[in-house]
Amino acid sequence: MAKKNLPDAEFQENQPGQDGMGGEVKRGSLLWARISSNKMLIIGGIVVIFFLFMAFFAPLITQYSPTKMNFRAKFAPPSAEHLMGTDHFGRDTYTRIVYGARVSFQVGLVAVSIGLIGGLIFGAVAGFVGGIADDILMRMMDALLAFPPLLLAIGLVASMGPSLKTVSISIGVVYIPRFARVMRSSVLAEKEKEYVEAARAIGQSGFKVLMKHIGPSTISPMIVLATIIFALAIIIEATLSFLGVGLPPPAPSWGTMLDESRRYLSVSVWMALFPGITISIAVLGFNMVGDGLRDLFDPRSYN
């Protein structure tokens, strides 16, 4: 029986991206639509960019020095001269808050970078290689996770001596395990999929399979986590400074400002009010960006 050729099916399959009437929906506009309807992301994004601006252009938007004392202007309430009043040393609160943004951003950036890169490496190796390496690495991660983050940070900073560098590094190290976990579970999930087997079948080396094929699918959860950890880094730095084990004075950290305000609560409410509000808004902004991104990347996971 000879092979007969069946005639090719007549009708055209409807392809994704076509609206069924012969027109094509633009790919880019779909993404933009999703972003612009995501209120969390927009509002949070605005807040974050605002603080970024503040941190970057600090000298340009302030007129006073954040550290110079002026005892004649102690405890001043908000006025035209001092937008947010002054503290117990007569330093302009608004200026200190703006420079505080710089501090928080520096710490956050370094901490998140350390956490992300460290976590990426540990998590990818543990997930991809598996076996004993996975066991050992994960137990090390669990060991770090068993410490309350603040306590571990305190221990590390106190030992190394408080400074901008040590605070940033300590916070970064504290959060490596969380990144590692996320990375590892992404890698594990993707590892079993058929496209990974297909990549192996064409002869691709293990490492390249991880980087080129699995890698791109693991990025989005890491980015979401990065924003959340940034928020946590800001809080922890502020807490450390508040407790007196963070950035040494006269560094303009929001946390230090709050600590200093405690003694003078009955004299000046403003000293305590502004730094606290600032921290809250900054952290809120980052949290909203994180939530918004999570929603953007996977609408199913958010209620």
- Under rule CB under 8 A, which residues in 140-169 are in contact with other proteins? 140, 142-144, 146-152, 154-156, 158-161
CA angle centred on 243, ends 240 and 246, rounded to 5°: 35
Distances (CA, A) of 38 to 28, 215, 292: 16, 26, 6
Helix (H) or strand (E) holding 94, with range, is helix 93-129
What token pair was written down for 183? 């990375």
Q: CB of residue 102 vs other proteins: minimum separation in angstroms?
A: 18
Residue 13 binding other proteins, by CB under 8 A: yes
Choices 30-38, 52-60, 68-76, 139-147 (CB under 8 A): range interacting with other proteins? 139-147
Residue 261 binding other proteins, by CB under 8 A: yes
Cβ closest to other proteins, residue 70 vs residue 273? 273
At position 23, the amino acid (one-letter code) is G
Cβ 190 vs Cβ 218: under 8 Å: yes
Choices 72-80, 81-89, 178-186, 191-199 (CB under 8 A): range interacting with other proteins? 191-199
Cβ 229 vs Cβ 178: under 8 Å: yes
Cβ closest to other proteins, residue 59 vs residue 216? 216
Choices 15-23, 55-63, 110-118, 120-128 (CB under 8 A): range interacting with other proteins? 15-23
- Give every CB contact of residue 251 below 8 A, 6+ residues apart in sequence: 103, 164, 241
Residue 233 binding other proteins, by CB under 8 A: no
At 18 the three-state DSSP class reads: strand
- How many residues bind to other proteins according to rule CB under 8 A? 75
Residue 19 binding other proteins, by CB under 8 A: no
Cβ closest to other proteins, residue 216 vs residue 299? 216
